[in-house]
A and B are shown apart, each in its own frame.
Chain A
């Protein structure tokens, strides 16, 4: 059984929901990313999403765009991100899911990427611009390597697409809560509940919701519907604000704890 499956099973058994915490690898540096991930895991993050910086991140809002740019300026390459995963894996059992765009994976080589990532101890991978229709070749390599390829479902996905995505997604299903790019929003989209209900009728796989969620109250609301809540930009923005200060790791850890708190409550 994969580490992701075990994690979601254990949480379900305890009546908890998962906090999936996103970090852009290499922001402010890969060494800091390691410290941040370990602290996050210690303070309640159940799954770590690690972003591979890319020059043209079309699914990302300004906060994660800036983080990717900072990381690239520090020379964060795909190979070094995967090395960081291996270093982390020696210290923590927390599941790690890589989030990337397709071109860096293509450039690394589909098979090489899947194998190197799996060998490093990564559990899954999300490719933001790789829809079902184009996923065949990489999906085969990921499966062969034992890496879960997580597919995304969007508010615009037709019922036929939702069904296929639910069937093919591995590890969990990533529900994009809104039409738009990553980034915090004031309110949760109204049709989110219906979107998740549709999925529940189709699958028993874990369902995690991301995009636009950054406040503990929002996490609590989404936690009542989904198996996991993904928070990205709010964490990355805090890192941007505190980078270079002695309290960076501690402050991010406290924020993680505040996001996890409402997800510990038994339903």
Chain B
């Protein structure tokens, strides 16, 4: 399994490089630079140092006692990526890629962002490493994630609202790709999810795999064995693949990705491309997509901007078809319940994206005996979502 993707970036029939010719040579150049960096002990030490001293790794594996008691079944553990600098797992990948941008001598980085977490992380790394930074963000997300927009601006990044299409993450990626095609000689595209053309899905996975490696080590110490189930939310799937990947060979560990069910799969207003999508090509890779019969990409819907995407990373698609990963969906309403439960019972406010994983873990824990252990990828903190939650609960925050 460590041999995937193949030389052309394919995970079975998924992945690949479906981009305009202009980007092909730059993608090859990026792949070469990435592989060379991986062979450079100095570069590796620099990244490990930043992950430890700057991002705050390793993050704890925390036993959620009150949540577990509340559910009355399997023990629930939280892999606390919300404690990373900038408040989410996104920083793992961003530090790696920003160091790569420096190594490739690209003075400017661009990024797309949905919830704003990847944008904030990119703006942070750009500030740290002295890079010029521009972030594309769907205009609707700019409205619902105003706090993160201001954080990016404070960090010195330019936030460019994207008015095209559905005005969300999908359109932000379109615009970032157009920028990259135009400024490819001077610009590094710092893609934030485990999707896009090869080598991005591989690189993003590798940079986040630290989550799963730490979890293995910590589970051995605290549980004396590997966990029984891993649960993580999946939009593009970056935190999920990071947690899951080091466990793929451990057949006894169940791996579950949680997709945004939005207002319910039956309503058609959701972002569950594994549950309700078909195979197609979007943003440079082949994977499962939400699309109509004519191959036009559908608009996703989710209360969480970070999951509001009509596709999913190609490696997830591969392991879904291989029967290794399971996928379920959680509605907006259930995610809000998960958000409130974790906040009230543990004093941990998860991001709305993360709340999808929490909600499913709670549901699953009730069906399993206390001897079983579930690890939830607690991918991000929820401060950014307080306004959205207040609105959904019919309150107003001034």
Contact = CB atoms under 8 A, between A and B. Distances in A.
Nearest to A158: B25
Contact of A128 (B20, B28, B280): B20
A130 B19 CA distance: 6
A107 B170 contact: no
Interface string A47-85: 000000011111101000100000010000111000000
**In the complex, which range does the number of interface residues on chain B fall in?**
35 or more
Contacts of B24: 131-133, 154, 156-157, 161
A154 B294 contact: no
B22 A106 contact: no
A154 B26 CA distance: 11
A161 B184 CA distance: 17
A154 B295 contact: no
A103 B21 contact: no
B57 to A, nearest CB: 34
Interface stretch (A3-11, A35-43, A174-182, A225-233): A174-182
Contacts of B18: 102, 129-131, 134
B343 interface: no
B295 A156 contact: no
B249 interface: no
B297 A58 contact: no
Given A55-B165, A78-B295, A156-B22, A179 B182 contact: yes
A56 B174 CA distance: 7
A156 B26 contact: yes
Interface in A153-174: 153-158, 161, 165
Interface string B130-150: 000000000000000000000
Interface residues of A, number: 41
A114 interface: no
Contacts of B294: 77-79, 104, 107-108
A103 B182 CA distance: 23
Contacts, number: 120
Given A54-B296, A104-B294, A107-B280, A131 B177 contact: no
A105 interface: yes
B174 A106 contact: no
A129 B283 CA distance: 9
B21 A165 contact: yes
B295 A58 contact: no
A134 B17 contact: yes
B8 interface: yes
Given A65-B164, A133-B8, A156-B22, A106 B281 contact: yes
Nearest to A57: B174
Given A55-B165, A55-B297, A181-B181, A154 B282 contact: no
Interface in B276-333: 279-284, 289, 291, 293-297
26 contacts: A56-B171, A58-B283, A59-B20, A59-B181, A78-B294, A102-B281, A103-B280, A103-B282, A103-B295, A103-B297, A104-B294, A106-B280, A108-B294, A129-B284, A131-B20, A131-B21, A133-B17, A134-B8, A134-B18, A152-B21, A154-B20, A154-B24, A179-B22, A179-B184, A179-B185, A181-B181
Interface of A: 54-59, 61, 65, 72, 77-79, 101-108, 128-134, 151-158, 161, 165, 176, 179-181
- Leading 5 A-B pairs by shortest Cβ distance: A107-B295, A104-B295, A154-B22, A180-B182, A154-B21
